[in-house]
Amino acid sequence: MPTKILVVGGVAAGASAAAKARRTDEAAEIIILEQGPFVSFANCGLPYYVGRVIPKREDLLITTPERFKDHFNIEVRLQQKALSIDPAGKQVVVKNLAAGEGYREKYDKLILATGSAPVLPPLEGSGLANIFHLWTIPDADSISALLAGLGARTAVIIGGGFVGLEALEALLARGLEVSLVEMLPQVLPAWDPEVAELVAGHLRDEGIQMILGDGVRRFLGSGILQQVELNSGRILQADLAVSAIGVRPRLELAREAGLKIGVTGGLEVNEKMQTSDPDIYAAGDIVQTRHLVSGRPVRLPLAGPANKQGRTAGANAAGGNMEFRGVLGSGIVRIGKLTVAKTGLNEQEVIDAGYQYDISYTYPLDHAGYYPGAKFMLIKLMADKETGRLLGAQAVGYQGVDKRIDVLATAMAAGFSVKDMENLELAYAPPYSSAKDPVSMAGMVASNILRGEVPTLTARDLRRELSNSADIQLVDVRTTEEFNQGYISGAVHLPLDHFRQDISRLDSRKKTVVYCRSGYRSYLALKILQQSGFREVFNLSGGYMNWSAAL
């Protein structure tokens, strides 16, 4: 008898699982149950459809039930809600939402890919019309219909994560006046504060009203949303609101079936994506997996891992032998003209995991400075203080960020140290990079710190030092023009161009911290001081740019 594989959920993980199962076993009977009206759609593309970057709705449909049948001989049943699982009887109770009828479907192997549901707290007025999520094609259809029909002028985005910022960009593209509300003190909570502040600064420069550290108290209107009241009492005008405060895993089926839930609140699976029931596999937003850096259990609802997990689950359910190693948490988002990306652990996660670590900040150009159009980016690296192993990386800039974060993710997955990174041979031509690529440059700076060649302080370190001791010699080596535009209070101004002649103005017995715009000129000054008898001298990592962003 052929193996019967039942897949519950037909978007990223579920569709990948079903297709891989077919490629593994041509004889298997494979059925997808999807409670929504679409299968295998690109939910990551929804904001770009609302913003008209993606002009055709059908472009979001990666495949269709008909194509699944024709290409893979897989049966897709839409608007079929799985109500419960009977693991002992190996069957699922299903309700046909269109017909209102129930039935039971047997299986030999079951794959759960039920995904996540967006969260909206039960606030006063949350039932008013024109309060949306942006999670499914019907969500995008509803927002698009409102924008086309009523000429909405004002919008409030609730939440400053991936979806919130992408929704912000989409509504700006449609000509709306948009306010962003985030309860935390920063946008992009998964990023470190000083990196997120560069994004926030860019949004402010673009004229976006950002309200951080404040949340929504209630929605106001008569049947239709008109205003949003914040916890602070502030009132925002809103023809529509998009809630993007997070998602919760759809675990009801798994819990009721008695499957083991992990410490993160995700469904526990092994490397083969098997749950505590060996005939039930799971993938996507609902599962708990292992972080490749810390080794700790994590639940990361991201499309890339969901597809790979689904592929692994599908292969093994059909008799294959694949393993899913774990996740890095790589992510990237475009906000206006800026791109911000990360991979590995953020700084708080590094601390929570118990690492002793070094931080480096570099501000390289994305390609050769003499070739037109070069733009600065920030790369932040965190590395184990003893081994130099790369623990986490974040980058923000106008161009070339995607390329660098992918190189860093690859290096991290391979267990590279920052010393390995300084020796990477990466492709170079003036339109694309520099002879020292930004990744290599970041590796060189981090390796200098690891070897003890360049003692450094972060902006937070320096602030703490200045608050605890007045006996610090702070030296600004930028040009006079740069210094006059802003400086750290108490700094002595000694421009690098005649630094050697002016060293006599400094006290070699004092603890000395040097800084410039981004850290390179102050590195040169530090080497001069080290070889001129200064015993305790430090470079401000990331320079004045990082001081401004962090503080």
User: Per the residue annotation, which of 42, 44, 146, 322 is the catalytic one?
Assistant: 44
| Token reading at 518 | 């981004």
Closest to 253 (Cα-Cα) out of 81, 84, 79: 84
Distance CA 189, CA 258 (A): 33
SS (H, E, C) 246-273: CEEECCHHHHHCCCCECCCCCEECCCCC
Joined tokens for residue 463: 């602030």
Which single residue is written with the structure tokens 């269109």? 98
Amino acid making up residue 254: A
Amino acid at 387: T
3-state DSSP assignment of residue 147: helix
509 touches 533 (CB < 8 A): no
* Residue 396 CA, distance from chain mean position: 12
By the 8 A CB rule, do 123 and 217 touch? yes
* Residue 44 designated active-site: yes
Query: How far from the centroid of its chain's Cα atoms is residue 2's Cα?
Result: 41
Secondary structure E strands in 125-175: 131-132, 154-158
Dihedral angle at the C-alpha atoms of 245, 154, 51, 399, nearest 10 degrees? -70
Cβ-proximal residues to 531 (8 Å cutoff; 6+ apart), any chain: none
User: Whole-angstrom Cα distance, residue 375 to residue 34?
Assistant: 45
Radius of gyration of the chain (CA): 27
The catalytic residues are 44
